[in-house]
Structure 1
Amino acid sequence: MTPHPGTAVVVLTATTLPAAALPLLRTATRVYAGGGVDVALGDGPLPADVADEAANHPVVVLTDDPAYSLPGAPVYRTAGAALVRAAQVMDTLRSPGGCPWDAEQTHESLRRYLVEEAYELLDAIDDGDRAALLEELGDVLLQVLFHARLAADAADDPFDVDDVATALVRKLVSRHPHVFADGPAVWDAQTQENRWDELKQQEKRRSSSVDGVAMGQPAVALAVKLVQRAGKAGLPADLVPAGDSVGERLFTLAAQAQLAGRDPEHDLREVARRFADQVRAAEKSAKAAGVELTADAWRAHWPPA
């Protein structure tokens, strides 16, 4: 059943309306309050036969449920509407009567999940899989919401997801004075990157160009970041560590790749993924031939066709 052209679903965030929905509200014959929306904001509660009415008259449904929909009707959401709902769900899971597993978690117990979800997101990006990208971004967001909710329960120096978001907004605004203030104009991405680093250095009051680099990140990415930071501070390329040990040779290769404009972490990951595909193909080929994977069998089926 096709709804009337004036019919729409409007998702509220703390009773904030998306501006694009205002014309529809003015022309609607009925405005219904669904989900957790106060009935007083509409003409009455959401009826069970709203789809039938919407087929003949312009009807607007107000709801706080970002998943609600009327078949064929457009949905208008205030930016971040679903984020508010996600934070509410996380709060319910961690509150009394929620999930026992969620209630037992700590920042430390969740560490491995944060790392795993970040790598699964990288896989989705590398694979160009849009459905997986959407899902994995949600899993990474869950980690942010979870850690923020844990922080709200802390006895000392608690903070919550709103504090996290407020700090982020403050950072984004301060690092983009050309957008949110009367800062110097930025004409290209490289200029903005340099400006970002300058502002960051001023804010953090760091004494070294490599202060603040996450030393726990994968070694190749760490080497690249250190060389990048030191290079921006004027370190000559010939001072990059070199030597005969495995670690020194790997560092030199990573540094050379970074200085040449390459991303060695990405390049190495591509080779590793290709190697994994070759292993699977060789195993499949040997299995189809009914042979045991001895060293000779590996050689006979490698590289795979």
Structure 2
Amino acid sequence: MTTEAPLAPGRIVLLTASHRVAPGLLSWPAWQTLRAADRVLCADADHPQLPYLREAGVVVEQFVPSADELVAYCADGGRTAVVLTSGEGDARLTDGLARLAGSNRVQMPDLELLPGSYDLPGARLLDLVQVMDRIRRACPWSSQQTHEGLAKYGIEEAYELVEAIEAGDRTELREELGDVLLQVVFHARIAEDATGEDDDEPFSIDDVAATLIDKLIHRHPHVFGDETAETPADVKATWLRTKAVEKQRSSVTEGIPLAQPALALAAKLASRVRSGGLDVPLPPDDGGLGHQLLTLAARAEAEGTDPETALRAAARAYRDAIVAVEEAGGFSEA
């Protein structure tokens, strides 16, 4: 007496693909599964992968049966059915499969979730560009903003980022980095709307990134070229040398934003004088507070201390001392 071997349970494959990767760029396991499947199903007639599957000779049925029907089909002869899901998935099918699997009344086929493509590092930046583009077109406030109108927010967000760094709050740091990034993407999107009149040439976030990439490669010849830099000091010297060639400045003061905080401005000027090998004495002592602060800033910079950071740390400590006195009962509203 012979015993018939049980039928193979079959296989249901839910194939996902990242919308941030160009359609058709599927993994080799995904292509193998698609070509070997008994049925390939997709309910979305506009799914971006369909033209590429047809080009590869894969027949795709433009519907997805119910979970019961799909399980019955795969159980009959151990067939394989691949369901090409949309970005949101197929809740009807997955809920139905979960229901059947939990009932313990049906021999379930093997269920597999197969990623056909994965996000590359930085892929969410593509989503950010798309979201910003839609906001620029559809939001009454955002659609009217200009570079000049947003300038103050760039300053505010930069200070909030510095505060998060100094506080050591990584959750806040993550959020503030996003706010700074928003300023970059927002300004780049505004620049796309330039008319080209009055030398106002349009550019996009891709142009911004391309300019930055070129700059980074050019200023890191020890990474992308044949130069050697063994220490951080070597790297800084290379950076300053290549930057000087790029800018062709007539003065070491060019490129220093005069609108930055006065203490940071004084330290930056002193730094440029020192790195430029210049011998420029400080202005004559007029006995005023400004000269004293300038002297302190120059001395701090020469000693390797950022005076702006040092003063901010001292001010934060002073703020904490004030709060401590208030909490001890020494504060009363006028």
Q: TM-score range by the shorter chain?
A: 0.7 to 0.9
**CA deviation vs aligned residue, 1:131-158 (integer Å, no higher than 9, x gap):** 1111110000000000011111111211
How is 1:201-212 mapped onto 2 (pairs within 5 angstroms)?
201-212=244-255
**Cα distance in 1, alignment partners of residues 173 and 42 from structure 2:** 33
User: Which of 38, 57, 60 does residue 48 from structure 2 map onto?
Assistant: 38
Deviation at 1:292, TM superposition (A): 3.3
Letter aligned with residue 202 of structure 2: P
How is 1:1-305 mapped onto 2 (pairs within 5 angstroms)?
11-15=18-22, 22=27, 25=30, 38-40=48-50, 44-46=84-86, 47-48=90-91, 49-50=93-94, 57-61=111-115, 76-95=118-137, 98-156=138-196, 157-182=201-226, 184-236=227-279, 239-241=281-283, 243=285, 244-286=287-329, 292=332
Deviation at 1:204, TM superposition (A): 0.8
**Cα distance in 2, alignment partners of residues 82 and 127 from structure 1:** 27
Runs of 4+ in 1 over 3 A off after TM superposition: 6-14, 21-37, 49-53, 55-58, 291-294
**CA deviation vs aligned residue, 1:234-262 (integer Å, no higher than 9, x gap):** 134x8234622111110110110111111
TM-score, normalising length from structure 2?
A: 0.70
**Cα distance in 1, alignment partners of residues 156 and 296 from structure 2:** 27
1:59 partner SS: strand
Q: Which has the higher contact order (CA 8 A, sep 6+)?
A: 2
TM-score, normalising length from structure 1?
A: 0.76
Gaps of at least 5 residues in structure 1 are: 1-5, 64-75, 295-305
**Cα distance in 2, alignment partners of residues 181 and 221 from structure 1:** 34
Q: Does structure 1 retain, via aligned residues, the 8 Å contact 2:16–2:85?
A: no
Q: Does structure 2 retain, via aligned residues, the 8 Å contact 1:33–1:39?
A: no
2:149 partner SS: coil
Q: Percent identity?
A: 39
Deviation at 1:188, TM superposition (A): 1.3
Distance 1:286 1:233, change over 3 A: same
**CA deviation vs aligned residue, 1:64-108 (integer Å, no higher than 9, x gap):** xxxxxxxxxxxx42122111110111011111xx11110111111
Distance 1:264 1:101, change over 3 A: same
Q: Does structure 1 retain, via aligned residues, the 8 Å contact 2:164–2:172?
A: yes
Letter aligned with residue 102 of structure 1: S
Distance 1:190 1:242, change over 3 A: farther
Q: Does structure 2 retain, via aligned residues, the 8 Å contact 1:228–1:258?
A: yes
Deviation at 1:112, TM superposition (A): 1.3
Gaps of at least 5 residues in structure 2 are: 1-12, 54-81, 99-108
Q: Does structure 2 retain, via aligned residues, the 8 Å contact 1:37–1:62?
A: no
Report the counterpart of residue 298 of structure 1 in structure 2: none
**Cα distance in 1, alignment partners of residues 326 and 213 from structure 2:** 51
Aligned residues: 267
Q: Does structure 2 retain, via aligned residues, the 8 Å contact 1:254–1:264?
A: yes
Letter aligned with residue 187 of structure 1: E
**CA deviation vs aligned residue, 1:157-206 (integer Å, no higher than 9, x gap):** 11111110110111111111221223x11111111111111101101111
Deviation at 1:24, TM superposition (A): 6.4
Deviation at 1:214, TM superposition (A): 1.5
Letter aligned with residue 146 of structure 2: T
**Cα distance in 2, alignment partners of residues 32 and 273 from structure 1:** 62
**Cα distance in 2, alignment partners of residues 125 and 32 from structure 1:** 50
**Cα distance in 1, alignment partners of residues 185 and 41 from structure 2:** 31
